[in-house]
Amino acid sequence: MHGSFEGTIRVDEAANTITANGVQIQVIYSDNPSTVDYTAYGIKDALVVDNTGRWRDAEGLSQHLQSKGVARVLLTAPGKGELKNIVHGINHSSIEDSDTIVTAASCTTNAITPVLKALNDKFGVIHGHVETVHSFTNDQNLIDNFHKGDRRGRSAALNMVITETGAAKAVAKALPELQGKLTGNAIRVPTPDVSMAILNLNLEKGTTKDEVNNYLREMSLHSELRKQIDFIDSPEVVSTDFVGSRRAGIVDGLATIATDKHLVVYVWYDNEFGYSCQVVRVMEEMAGVNPPSFPARGVAVNLEPKATLEPAGV
C-alpha cells in the first residue's frame, strides 16, 4: 500500500544490522525483553516502542524496564489500568519525566479525538455514537478459521465484519470532558489500509453544515490541532487517496450533515501511516526532541487579511 522504500538498503547478516539511507539499524533477537542488554550495542537511556500487542498493562510492559539501557516504554495500543493514553495534540503535555510507561492509544482514537475536541469546544457535545469503517488488520483470518472473536474468524478479504471498538471509551482517557458521552462500534471491511470514522453527535448549540465545515477547515489550517486535523471537500476522493496522510484524521466536508443540534461528521484516516506519525510525535515529546517547525509549536496562526492603506489623494 505504501509503495517501495525510496532509498538504499544494505543488510549485514554477520552484524545483524540494516543500513537504510546511511542510518544503521541494529536487529536484536529475544523472546524475553528483560534479558536484552542494550548497552552492549552502545544504546543508553533507550525509549522502547512496543508494538507487539503482547502486553498492554504496566506489569507486562515493565519487563522492558528491566533491560540494561532502557529508560522509558511507549505502547502503540490502548493501555489498560492507570497507564496514560496519549493523543498528541490533545494531552501530550501531561507526559511527565516520571512517566516511564505511556501509551499512544489507537489509530481510531487518534483520528477522532482532535475532531471531537474541536466540536465540543465550539458547539458542546451532549452525547454521540462513533461508527468506524475499518480496514482489516492482521488479527483477522484471510480464510474462515478459528478465532477467539467468532466473527473475526471469518475471511477478512471476503466479508464486512461487525465487531467492537474501544475507541469511544478511550477518547475520554485523553479528553475527560467526554466521559460517558460516547458509544462506539466497528465494521471491518476488505480493504488493506485507510479507514473512516462516522461521528453522529447531539450538540448543545444548533449549527449548519457551512458553519461546521468553515470551522473545521479553520482548525486544520490555523489552530494548534493543524497537525492532527485535515479538511477536504473534493467530490472525487476515495479511501486510497489518503494513503500516506500524516494527519491523524481528515474531515470530509462534503459528507457533513447538520440539522440544528444534530451533526454527522465523516473522518478519513490512514490507520497505519497517519497513526505512526502520531506515535512519532509522542516519541519526540518523551525524548525531549523538538524538531524545528513553522509556525513554532504551540503557536496558532492568524492569516486574516490585514487592512491596506491607499495612497494619499486617491
> pLDDT per residue over 264-311, tens digit each?
999 999 999 999 999 999 999 999 987 776 666 655 545 444 444 454
CA distance linking residue 181 with residue 33, whole number of Å: 38
Per-chain mean pLDDT for the chain: 92
Within 10 A of 7 (CB to CB), how many other CB atoms are there?
9
My answer on whether 73 and 119 are in the same domain is: no
Look at residue 289 in the predicted model and tell me its pLDDT: 87
Q: What average pLDDT does this structure show over 100-117?
A: 97
Look at residue 249 in the predicted model and tell me its pLDDT: 99
Instruction: Look up residue 295 and give its three cell numbers.
Output: 509556525
My answer on whether 141 and 97 are in the same domain is: no
Contact 226, 297 (CB under 8 A): no
Last residue of a domain, one of 82, 105, 128: 105
Contact 243, 270 (CB under 8 A): yes
Look at residue 295 in the predicted model and tell me its pLDDT: 61
Catalytic residue among 83, 107, 186, 286: 107
Look at residue 200 in the predicted model and tell me its pLDDT: 99
50, pLDDT greater than 50 = yes
My answer on whether 15 and 139 are in the same domain is: no
> Between β-strands 257-269 and 195-207, what pairing exists: parallel, antiparallel or unpaired?
antiparallel
My answer on whether 153 and 270 are in the same domain is: yes
Q: Is residue 306 part of a domain?
A: no
CA distance linking residue 7 with residue 217, whole number of Å: 35
CA distance linking residue 235 with residue 163, whole number of Å: 30
Confidence of residue 152 (pLDDT cuts 50, 70, 90): confident
Name the residue with cell 444534530: 262
> Between β-strands 125-135 and 161-163, what pairing exists: parallel, antiparallel or unpaired?
unpaired
Q: What average pLDDT does this structure show over 145-167?
A: 89
Task: Give SS3 for 120.
Answer: helix
87, pLDDT greater than 90 = yes
Look at residue 147 in the predicted model and tell me its pLDDT: 85
My answer on whether 90 and 142 are in the same domain is: no
Last residue of a domain, one of 84, 105, 126: 105
My answer on whether 60 and 168 are in the same domain is: no
Q: Is residue 2 part of a domain?
A: no
The percentage of the chain sitting over the pLDDT mark of 70, rounded to a whole number, equals 93
Closest Cα to residue 102, out of 89, 116, 87, 117?
A: 87
Q: Is residue 304 part of a domain?
A: no
CA distance linking residue 171 with residue 175, whole number of Å: 6
Name the residue with cell 532502557: 70
For residue 242, the domain's CATH number is 3.30.360.10
53, pLDDT greater than 90 = no
What residues does 231 pair with on adjacent strands?
251
For residue 33, the domain's CATH number is 3.40.50.720
Look at residue 256 in the predicted model and tell me its pLDDT: 99
Question: What is the number of domains present in the chain?
Answer: 2
Q: Is residue 215 part of a domain?
A: yes
My answer on whether 43 and 149 are in the same domain is: no
Quote the pTM value: 0.90
Closest Cα to residue 112, out of 2, 232, 269, 223?
A: 269
Task: Give SS3 for 224.
Answer: coil
Contact 178, 199 (CB under 8 A): no
Q: Is residue 253 part of a domain?
A: yes
Q: Is residue 305 part of a domain?
A: no
Task: Give SS3 for 163.
Answer: strand
Q: How far apart are the first and last CA of the chain?
A: 59
User: Mind giving me the DSSP string for 56-91?
Assistant: -SHHHHTTGGGSBTEEEEEESS---TT-EE--TTTT
My answer on whether 125 and 101 are in the same domain is: no
Residue 107 appears among annotated catalytic residues: yes
pLDDT tens profile 207-231: 999 999 999 999 999 999 999 999 9
What residues make up the domain containing 219? 107-275
Q: Is residue 266 part of a domain?
A: yes
My answer on whether 201 and 246 are in the same domain is: yes
My answer on whether 101 and 112 are in the same domain is: no
The answer, yes or no, to whether the previous bond of 295 is cis (omega within 30 of 0) is yes
Instruction: Look up residue 54 and give its three cell numbers.
Output: 503482547
Task: List C-alpha distances in Å: 46 to 4, 50, 62, 67, 314.
Answer: 29, 12, 14, 10, 66
148, pLDDT greater than 60 = yes
Q: Is residue 286 part of a domain?
A: no
Name the residue with cell 460516547: 182
CA distance linking residue 76 with residue 101, whole number of Å: 11
Contact 140, 157 (CB under 8 A): no
Last residue of a domain, one of 74, 105, 136: 105
My answer on whether 210 and 151 are in the same domain is: yes
Task: Give SS3 for 47.
Answer: strand
My answer on whether 26 and 163 are in the same domain is: no
